[in-house]
């Protein structure tokens, strides 16, 4: 078949293109009730009193639920990711609560749940609710949050420190003493939001006859939600079915968050005995769905005279928002990914995660890796300038050599294993990128000519790595149906990554069937019991490998059954076109569907050691993650008058190991770059001093349009991962990671800022802020 | 109040409140859930439908206003069950969608666009696409799909 | 984000609509294209008790030139119709040029120019363009009407000279005299967004090639669309050279009062005003040649 590795179009597309695919808000049930929330208008306030009587009295309102009404069900959500096993680490666990009981800690925190005959009426009733608040100072600025005399987000803690982690190896002080050059700068990266086009939503239905709860949830991790909800609601896991149908984009914040709404809607459905739906609106989304990105780094690099890195020291603050249920994944990623493609003999990194009166921070595409890459790539740009080195050359001199893999970075990664790069070869990637963007010609001819003509052209060139494909595990069940089609079920959810095609390719390769005949089910806990979720660029690596293993076992069963049927040796059999035949006798074939029937006989015993059917379930758990890498290069032009940029060329050279489907991979890269461009140039949540969000609409929080994202040119190198049977590495986040660093370098280059003593040390950077910075020079 | 709205050539008669948004009417009263809702303030374009042939935001009109008008939604594009029209096919062929949430709105915008501009260049496609937000694709494959559909239409012309 | 309840009236006749507005006053809002009002209602920022829907009044959907060349645009004339009108593009090119910057085609399908003007968002392009084109607005109420100059219509952010019982029924844009050149330029974060700064310039050269008339207006430059009259006057009698434009741009700074936004600081807006005034004047002068 050779479907593996080919740019096949997607199995999931026709239904999506006809508007037939099921999304959570498409679920309609008889007697369905609708939810709207009364949310805190304040970033930080004591709830003095709450009056819901008028809301309860409104016609069409079925129930209004406050914290007091929840009884024992009111409790902080689970800690989803525990803190890492780093000696001396501090972690203050404060998980989000379902409804504000006494203190609201961010604008939009839910206070009361209104359940009514329609969302319209529910919103009317929200307007009937009155609350008396005693406002408290809002904690926003990260440094002020740690100063004495500040307000505390969690008063009982007596500090706004959520966590402190120090990781170090080598002797940075010695490296600094030996250095020819030390550069120290402050870098800042501000908050953004993931903005999937589909907001979050939950529909829950309790069926008293089946004694089961069904929950349709826009989650990236249905199995984890199933397990958690069962525990909270006093049910067995088998009584709860969580379905993540088609999900309209996830990008991280739709992970197993146990959001308040996610916990409350199933509870309400059980209590009321009626199905209940909550669909987040876009306004709610800006406050209630998690954010990412605020960090402040004070970073220092020590180099020898040749530009070789001797050491890096970094101290940074990380904004975790009002609660920290997702542990330290984001700052750990920043801490680890800063090391990049480079040999850094001495590394000393310390971060403090800080509680603020803002929406929670959890991983969003890139998940902290942006920050690390931004700091390191900027430091290298500054160093190159100081040392009179070419920006490509200083990177090349510090690359981890191809023969040094696996390369132990000696720090604890987000999966709590020691960060070790499994494989890679960075110079060919850089060389391809330089050639593709026309680096030498740009420096020698294009840029000087443009400048002579009064044009502001600049180039950006940055390198990055991405830790992908972490454990613990995923599983897959492969089954030959009597129709001859092959089903594959896995526990992860899909949010557009093309799993129904990529996994089908993996299975088709083993079973000799058409990719269109592999029916993939993801995101339904009744179809596959075990799993973790779609995040950290792990779907293809972990679930894809599990699918591969399961398909291999089914292949053996097919061969065994067919050998018995043909009375021949298994080695003599050929699987092709959904059939099996004896080599050389293709006209005499039996279909997989018929073989499935033979494997499930109506008479005769299933003998010990055998199982009915052509089916297998396998699991795959990598010991550690596979490290992908790449180089982005960009040519940008600025209108020197307005400071508006136009991207003239954009090149991505990427190594994510073996490629299952180049078309889908290209889509993943394109989408990542687009979000990176948004993050670098457009997307910044703006807050006032009271913790109010100032741009909570899509007219004010700007995500890139088709006119803002350039045509991208993609090239690949392939260094297969030795850590999984397919040799694949994750690719979902790669596109987004280096773009901030790339913009910064390109802006400096285009506007000739270094000559004016101006450095770009922050992201995002819109034209207004850029104007302000350039006025300082 | 009782209204009758013509959608994809069929009449839908329902009893609605005046404040019911057209997007909700299509999705929840008529069961035409292919039209998606992404922002309810007219920016994202996910709910774009054709209103008397022209693309419009279903979230910025009331259902009662649609009486007497001809609406077209994504469900009305395919020539028959299980089939795709040439634009839809071009989207599959070019991998012009990922999560697929914004896709119906984009298909409707581009249906009207291609009718007026059968031979667009990339810049025109991007301009026309700029009123529809997509968070997954980075737009490149969407642009490819629209250009592919235009080329295919050109080739289908009898004397092309 | 669902609108609060309202009573909905959709009369077929203008007189009926005016009578309803007279009856309900401030409780009622006219609903034209709805592309500003409906989002505000979805956010529940606007909660009118009564909507008087003008969409069924065919006599309001008009677009045409009078004998003296004045363009008359009815209250229900949608952007889509204006931007597709070849005569408008030829005779009032600035209108077409600026319309392309207004949101996106899907919004322009239903949105109306009159509705936009009544919304009176100072960041919107159209109010500034109306000032630059010296438009006049016909305001109608039950049993009466009056004509108001565009520059007297806008009183503040989202505030106009409309009385509670009045409707902006027609927009009258006079013909541009021969020798005129116009330009509209703006800088927005993305295509279709409200402008961080926008400039409309109208210049006319006399027979001697010197500037015989000049109007310069800006959006996003203050609480209302602003006419930079001193800067415009400075051009009269000049040969419209780059130096004249720079001098005018320098004067604009004293005439504007940008308020800043999440996207643009007042300082950046001022900077943009200088850049765009120079560019718009230069383009208008070129076109007036």
Domains present along chain C, CATH in parentheses:
7-53 (3.30.43.10), 58-173 (3.30.465.10), 180-288 (3.30.390.50)
Q: Which residues contact A732 (CB under 8 A, 6 or more apart)?
A: A365, A468, A497, A537, A539, A668, A672
Residue A607 pLDDT more than 90? no
Query: How many angstroms away from the CA of C221 is the closest CA of chain B?
Result: 24
Rounded CA-CA distance B3/B69 in Å is: 12
**CB-CB under 8 Å, A127 with C267:** no
Q: Token pair for residue A408?
A: 């132990």
Rounded CA-CA distance A286/A280 in Å is: 10
Give per-residue pLDDT as tens, A680-700.
Answer: 999 999 999 999 999 999 999
pLDDT at residue number A3: 87
For tokens 């080599």, what's the residue? A583
For tokens 């699991």, what's the residue? A619
Asked if B107 is an interface residue toward chain A (Cβ–Cβ < 8 A), one would say: yes
Cβ(A384)–Cβ(A394) below 8 Å: yes
Q: What are phi and psi of C252, to 5 degrees?
A: -60, -35
Torsion of the alpha carbons at A353, A354, A360 and A366, rounded to the nearest 10: -40
Give per-residue pLDDT as tens, C38-59.
Answer: 999 999 999 999 999 999 999 9
Query: How many angstroms away from the CA of C258 is the closest CA of chain B?
Result: 25
Give per-residue pLDDT as tens, A226-279.
Answer: 999 999 999 999 999 999 999 999 999 999 899 999 999 999 999 999 999 999
pLDDT band at A415 (very low <50, low <70, confident <90, very high): confident
Rounded CA-CA distance A279/A277 in Å is: 7
Identify the residue among A13, A14, A17, A500 best suited for mutation to test binding to B, counting B beta carbons within 10 A and taking the highest.
A17
Residue C162 pLDDT more than 90? yes
- Give chain A's mean pLDDT: 96
Query: How many angstroms away from the CA of A129 is the closest CA of chain C?
Result: 15
List b or e across A49-78, with b for residues whose CB sees 16 or more CB atoms inside 10 angstroms: ebebeebeebeebbbbbbbeebeebeeebb
**CB-CB under 8 Å, A18 with B75:** yes
pLDDT band at A536 (very low <50, low <70, confident <90, very high): confident
Asked if B47 is an interface residue toward chain A (Cβ–Cβ < 8 A), one would say: no
pLDDT at residue number A537: 83
**CB-CB under 8 Å, C5 with B19:** yes
Q: Between A120, A768, A772, which is nearest C263 by CB?
A: A768
Q: Compute the average pLDDT of residues A654-661.
A: 95
Asked if B105 is an interface residue toward chain A (Cβ–Cβ < 8 A), one would say: no
Report the residue of chain A nearest C269, measured CA to CA. Answer: A768
**CB-CB under 8 Å, C4 with A124:** yes
Residues of C in contact with A124 (CB under 8 A): 4-5
pLDDT above 90 as % of chain B: 97
Query: How many angstroms away from the CA of B91 is the closest CA of chain C?
Result: 21
- List, in order of start, the domains of chain B with CATH numbers: 2-76 (3.10.20.30), 86-156 (1.10.150.120)
Q: Between C191, C263, C268, which is nearest A707 by CB?
A: C191
**CB-CB under 8 Å, B19 with C6:** yes
Residue A602 pLDDT more than 90? no
- Give chain C's mean pLDDT: 97
Cα end-to-end distance, chain C, whole Å: 51
- Of the listed ranges A461-470, A599-608, B97-106, C249-258, the least confidently predicted one is A599-608
Which residues are paired to B12 by β-bridges? B5
Complete DSSP assignment for A285-335: HHHHS-EE--EEEEEEEEE-TTS-EEEEEEEEEEEEES--TTTTHHHHHHH
Q: Compute the average pLDDT of residues A532-536.
A: 86
pLDDT at residue number C161: 98
Asked if C65 is an interface residue toward chain A (Cβ–Cβ < 8 A), one would say: no
pLDDT at residue number B158: 76
Give per-residue pLDDT as tens, A280-298.
Answer: 999 999 999 999 989 999 9
Cα-based angle A676, A307, A733 (whole degrees, multiple of 5): 20
| Nearest CA among B113, B141, B145 for reference residue B127 | B113
pLDDT at residue number A609: 79
Report the residue of chain C nearest B67, measured CA to CA. Answer: C56
pLDDT band at A471 (very low <50, low <70, confident <90, very high): confident
Query: How many angstroms away from the CA of B90 is the closest CA of chain C?
Result: 22
Three-state DSSP class for residue A665: helix
Asked if A734 is an interface residue toward chain B (Cβ–Cβ < 8 A), one would say: no
Q: What are phi and psi of A118, to 5 degrees?
A: -150, 160
Asked if A14 is an interface residue toward chain B (Cβ–Cβ < 8 A), one would say: yes
For tokens 């109420």, what's the residue? C141
pLDDT at residue number B159: 65
Rounded CA-CA distance A513/A661 in Å is: 17
Q: Between C1, C104, C110, which is nearest B130 by CB?
A: C104
Q: Is A755 exposed, middle or buried (0-12, 13-18, 19+ CB in 10 A)?
A: exposed
Asked if B29 is an interface residue toward chain A (Cβ–Cβ < 8 A), one would say: no
Query: How many angstroms away from the CA of C88 is the closest CA of chain A?
Result: 27
Rounded CA-CA distance C248/C285 in Å is: 13
Residue C222 pLDDT more than 70? yes
| Nearest CA among A550, A724, A545 for reference residue A624 | A724
Residues of C in contact with A699 (CB under 8 A): 193-194
| Nearest CA among B2, B124, B81, C131 for reference residue A18 | B81
Reported ipTM: the value is: 0.98
Residue A1 pLDDT more than 60? no
pLDDT at residue number A2: 76
Give per-residue pLDDT as tens, A639-655.
Answer: 999 999 999 999 999 99
List b or e across B38-72, with b for residues whose CB sees 16 or more CB atoms inside 10 angstroms: bbbbbbbbbbbbbbeebbbbbbbbbbbbbeebebb
Residue B160 pLDDT more than 80? no
Report the residue of chain A nearest C103, measured CA to CA. Answer: A699
* Count of CB atoms situated within 10 Å of the CB of A208: 8
Q: What pTM value is reported for the model? A: 0.97
Pairing label, strands A240-243, A276-279: unpaired
pLDDT band at A777 (very low <50, low <70, confident <90, very high): low
Cβ(A314)–Cβ(A300) below 8 Å: yes
Rounded CA-CA distance A642/A656 in Å is: 39
Identify the residue among C5, C100, C189, C282 best suited for mutation to test binding to A, counting A beta carbons within 10 A and taking the highest.
C189
pLDDT band at B133 (very low <50, low <70, confident <90, very high): very high
Give per-residue pLDDT as tens, C232-261.
Answer: 999 999 999 999 999 999 999 999 999 999
């Amino acid at each position: 078949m050779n479907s593996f590795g080919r740019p096949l179009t997607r199995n999931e597309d026709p239904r999506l293109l006809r508007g037939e695919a099921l999304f959570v808000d498409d679920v309609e049930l008889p007697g369905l009730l609708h939810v709207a929330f009364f949310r805190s208008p304040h970033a930080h306030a004591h709830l003095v009193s709450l009056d819901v009587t008028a809301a309860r009295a409104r016609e069409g309102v079925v129930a209004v639920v406050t914290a007091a009404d929840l009884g024992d069900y009111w409790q902080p959500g689970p800690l989803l990711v525990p803190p890492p096993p780093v000696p001396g680490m501090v972690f203050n666990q404060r998980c989000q609560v379902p409804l504000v009981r006494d203190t609201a800690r961010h604008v939009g925190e839910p206070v009361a749940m209104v359940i009514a005959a329609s969302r319209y009426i529910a919103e009317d009733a929200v307007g009937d609710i009155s609350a008396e608040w005693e406002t408290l100072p809002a904690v926003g600025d990260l440094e002020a949050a740690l100063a004495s005399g500040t307000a505390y987000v969690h008063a009982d803690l007596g500090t706004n420190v959520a966590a402190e982690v120090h990781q170090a190896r080598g002797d940075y002080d010695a490296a600094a003493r030996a250095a020819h050059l030390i550069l120290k700068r402050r870098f800042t990266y501000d908050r953004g939001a993931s903005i999937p086009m589909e907001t979050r939503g939950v529909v829950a239905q309790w069926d008293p006859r089946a004694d089961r709860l069904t929950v349709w949830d826009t989650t990236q991790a249905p199995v984890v939600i199933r397990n958690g909800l069962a525990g909270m609601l006093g049910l067995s896991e088998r009584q709860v079915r969580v379905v993540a149908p088609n999900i309209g984009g996830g990008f991280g914040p739709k992970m197993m968050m146990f959001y308040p709404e996610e916990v409350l809607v199933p509870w309400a459905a059980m209590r009321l005995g009626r199905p209940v739906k909550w669909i987040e609106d876009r306004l709610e989304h800006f406050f209630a769905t998690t954010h990412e990105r605020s960090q402040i780094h004070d970073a220092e690099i020590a180099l020898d005279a040749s530009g070789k890195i001797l050491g890096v020291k970094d101290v940074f603050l990380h904004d975790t928002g009002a609660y920290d249920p997702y542990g330290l994944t984001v700052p750990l990623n920043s801490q680890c990914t800063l090391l990049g493609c480079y040999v850094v003999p001495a590394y000393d990194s310390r971060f403090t995660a800080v509680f603020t009166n803002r929406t929670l921070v959890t991983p969003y595409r890139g998940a902290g890796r942006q920050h690390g890459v931004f700091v390191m790539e900027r430091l290298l740009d500054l160093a190159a300038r100081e040392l009179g080195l070419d920006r490509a050359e200083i990177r090349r001199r510090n690359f981890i050599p191809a023969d040094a893999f696996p390369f132990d970075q000696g720090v604890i990664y987000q999966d709590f294993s020691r960060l070790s790069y499994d494989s890679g070869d960075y110079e060919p990637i850089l060389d391809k990128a330089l050639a593709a963007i026309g680096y030498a010609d740009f420096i020698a001819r294009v840029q000087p000519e443009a400048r002579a003509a009064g044009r502001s052209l600049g180039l950006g060139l940055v390198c990055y790595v991405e830790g992908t494909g972490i454990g613990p595990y995923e599983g897959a069940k492969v089954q030959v149906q009597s129709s001859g089609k092959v089903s594959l079920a896995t526990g992860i959810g899909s949010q557009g990554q093309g799993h129904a095609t990529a996994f089908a390719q993996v299975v088709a390769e083993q079973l000799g069937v058409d990719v269109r005949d592999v029916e993939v089910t993801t995101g339904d806990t009744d179809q596959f019991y075990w799993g973790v979720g779609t995040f950290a660029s792990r779907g293809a690596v972990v679930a894809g490998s599990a699918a591969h293993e399961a398909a291999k076992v089914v292949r053996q069963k097919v061969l065994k059954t067919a050998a018995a049927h043909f009375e021949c040796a298994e080695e003599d059999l050929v699987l092709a076109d959904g059939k099996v035949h004896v080599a050389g006798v293709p006209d005499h074939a039996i279909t997989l569907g018929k073989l499935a029937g033979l494997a499930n006989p109506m008479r005769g015993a299933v003998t010990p050691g055998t199982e009915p059917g052509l089916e297998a379930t396998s699991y795959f758990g990598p010991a550690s993650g596979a490290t992908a890498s790449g180089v982005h290069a960009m040519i940008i032009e600025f209108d020197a008058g307005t400071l508006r940029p136009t991207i003239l060329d954009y090149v991505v050279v990427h190594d994510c190991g073996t490629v299952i489907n180049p078309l889908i991979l290209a889509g993943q890269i394109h989408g990542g770059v687009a979000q990176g461009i948004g993050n670098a140039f457009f997307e910044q949540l703006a807050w006032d001093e009271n913790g109010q969000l100032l741009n909570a609409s899509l007219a004010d929080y700007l995500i890139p349009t088709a006119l803002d994202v350039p045509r991208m040119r993609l090239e690949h190198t392939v260094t297969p991962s030795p850590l999984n049977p397919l040799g694949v590495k994750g690719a979902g986040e790669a596109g987004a990671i280096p773009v901030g660093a790339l913009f910064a370098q390109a802006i400096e280059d285009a506007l000739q800022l270094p000559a004016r003593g101006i450095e770009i040390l922050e992201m995002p950077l819109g034209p207004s802020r850029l104007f302000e910075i350039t006025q300082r020079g | 109040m009782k209204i009758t709205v013509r959608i994809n050539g069929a009449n839908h008669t329902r009893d609605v409140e005046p404040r019911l948004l057209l997007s909700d009417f299509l999705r929840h009263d008529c069961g035409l859930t292919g039209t998606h809702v992404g922002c309810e303030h007219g920016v994202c374009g996910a709910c774009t439908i054709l209103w008397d042939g022209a693309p419009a935001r279903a979230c910025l009109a009331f259902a009662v206003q649609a009486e007497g008008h001809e609406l077209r939604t994504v469900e009305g594009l395919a020539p028959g069950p299980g089939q795709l029209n040439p634009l839809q096919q071009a989207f599959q062929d070019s991998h012009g969608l990922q999560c697929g949430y914004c896709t119906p709105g984009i298909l409707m915008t581009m249906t009207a666009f291609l009718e007026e501009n059968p031979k667009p260049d990339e810049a025109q496609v991007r301009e026309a696409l700029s009123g529809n937000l997509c968070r997954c694709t980075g737009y490149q494959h969407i642009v490819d799909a629209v250009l592919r559909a235009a080329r295919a239409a050109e080739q289908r012309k009898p004397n092309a | 984000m669902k609108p609060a309840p309202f009573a909905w009236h959709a009369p077929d006749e203008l007189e009926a609509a005016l009578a309803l507005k007279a009856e309900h006053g401030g409780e009622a809002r006219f609903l034209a294209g709805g592309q500003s009002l409906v989002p505000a209602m979805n956010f529940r920022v606007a909660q009118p008790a009564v909507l008087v829907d003008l969409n069924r009044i065919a006599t309001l959907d008009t677009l045409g030139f009078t004998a003296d060349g004045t363009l008359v645009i009815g209250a229900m004339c949608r952007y889509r119709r204006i931007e597709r009108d070849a005569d408008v593009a030829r005779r009032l090119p600035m209108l077409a040029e600026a319309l392309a910057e207004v949101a996106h085609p899907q919004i322009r399908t239903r949105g109306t120019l009159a509705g936009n003007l009544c919304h009176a968002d100072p960041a919107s392009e159209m109010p500034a363009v109306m000032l630059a084109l010296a438009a006049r607005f016909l305001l109608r109420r039950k049993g009466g009407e009056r004509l108001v100059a565009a520059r007297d219509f806008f009183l503040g952010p989202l505030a106009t000279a409309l009385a509670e019982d009045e409707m902006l029924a027609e927009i009258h844009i006079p013909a541009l005299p021969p020798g005129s050149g116009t330009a509209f330029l703006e800088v927005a974060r993305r295509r279709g967004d409200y402008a961080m700064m926008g400039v409309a310039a109208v210049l006319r050269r006399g027979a001697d090639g010197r500037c015989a008339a000049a109007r310069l207006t800006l959006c996003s430059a203050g609480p209302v669309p602003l006419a930079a009259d001193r800067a415009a006057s400075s051009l009269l009698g000049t040969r419209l050279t780059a130096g004249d434009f720079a001098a005018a741009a320098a004067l604009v700074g004293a005439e504007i009062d940008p308020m800043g936004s999440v996207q643009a600081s007042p300082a950046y807006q001022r900077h943009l005003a200088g850049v765009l005034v120079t560019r718009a004047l230069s383009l208008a002068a070129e076109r007036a040649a």
